[in-house]
Amino acid sequence: MFLAAFTSAGHREVSLDATLLSRLLQKDVNAFEQLYDRHARLVYGLVLRILQQASTSEEVVQDVFLQLWRNADQYDSSRGPFVPWLCTMARNRALDHLRLKSERQRRREDLPDELPSAVIAPEYEKALDEKRRAERVRALMASLSPQQKKAIELAYFEGLSHSEIAAALKEPLGTVKSWIRNGLLRLKEGLQAT
């Protein structure tokens, strides 16, 4: 009964996002503002975690939401939930920014305008509200070994590859591959069991 209440709240959130997105296609400014208010903290937190700099992070978040405003028709709500898609777009943007900055080639016009394809939810996905989902994911990450967690974070937040992580941690490549794979599989199992 308790879980059912959470699930129902999650469905309402998904439905509200879908409604706002359909209004966004009609260039409804109020719908855009509501979407921003609902998800800006999550997106900004993610980008700031990647870039580690407030002003640059705000710049990227601005790009992300303007892309959403201008190209909302590229998001297919029937193929997957909105928040994972938005977070994927924000992460891609932030990592692009990070890589370009590191290569001293950063130019705004070089940033790709393509939006990510839909992030399709698996069958085991449960419609949880954002707060409950965040708590669950953080709890599951905290349950991983420090090495698994570190390797996954280096890949997700810094965009490093297997061999780059192995070099950074001074660990064998095979070990790093196992940490990442096993850590993600454990995360998946935890979410399936939620």
Residues in contact with other proteins by CB under 8 A are 27, 29, 32-33, 36, 40-42, 44-46, 48-50, 54, 57-58, 61-62, 65-66, 69-70, 80, 83-85, 87-88, 90-91, 95, 119-122, 125, 133-134, 137-138, 141, 152-153, 155-157, 159-163, 165, 177, 180-181, 184-185, 187-188, 191
Contact yes or no for 128/194 (Cβ under 8 A): yes
Q: How far apart are CA 58 and CA 167, in angstroms?
A: 31
For the beta carbon of residue 138, count every other beta carbon within 10 angstroms. Answer: 10
Q: How far apart are CA 125 and CA 90, in angstroms?
A: 21
Contact yes or no for 93/64 (Cβ under 8 A): yes
Rank residues 3 and 66 by Cβ distance to other proteins and give the closer one: 66
Contact yes or no for 68/35 (Cβ under 8 A): yes
Rank residues 106 and 153 by Cβ distance to other proteins and give the closer one: 153
Kindly give, in sequence order, each residue whose CB lies less than 8 Å from that of residue 163, ignoring residues fewer than 6 positions away.
173
Rank residues 1 and 142 by Cβ distance to other proteins and give the closer one: 142
Q: How far apart are CA 164 and CA 9, in angstroms?
A: 41
Least distance in angstroms from the C-beta of 162 to other proteins: 5
Least distance in angstroms from the C-beta of 37 to other proteins: 8
Least distance in angstroms from the C-beta of 119 to other proteins: 5
Rank residues 101 and 188 by Cβ distance to other proteins and give the closer one: 188
Q: Which of 3, 68, 75 is nearest to 40 (CA)?
A: 68
Least distance in angstroms from the C-beta of 16 to other proteins: 19
Rank residues 9 and 36 by Cβ distance to other proteins and give the closer one: 36
Q: How far apart are CA 156 and CA 55, in angstroms?
A: 21
Q: Which of 78, 34, 85, 38 is nearest to 64 (CA)?
A: 85
Least distance in angstroms from the C-beta of 49 to other proteins: 4
Rank residues 102 and 161 by Cβ distance to other proteins and give the closer one: 161
Least distance in angstroms from the C-beta of 71 to other proteins: 12
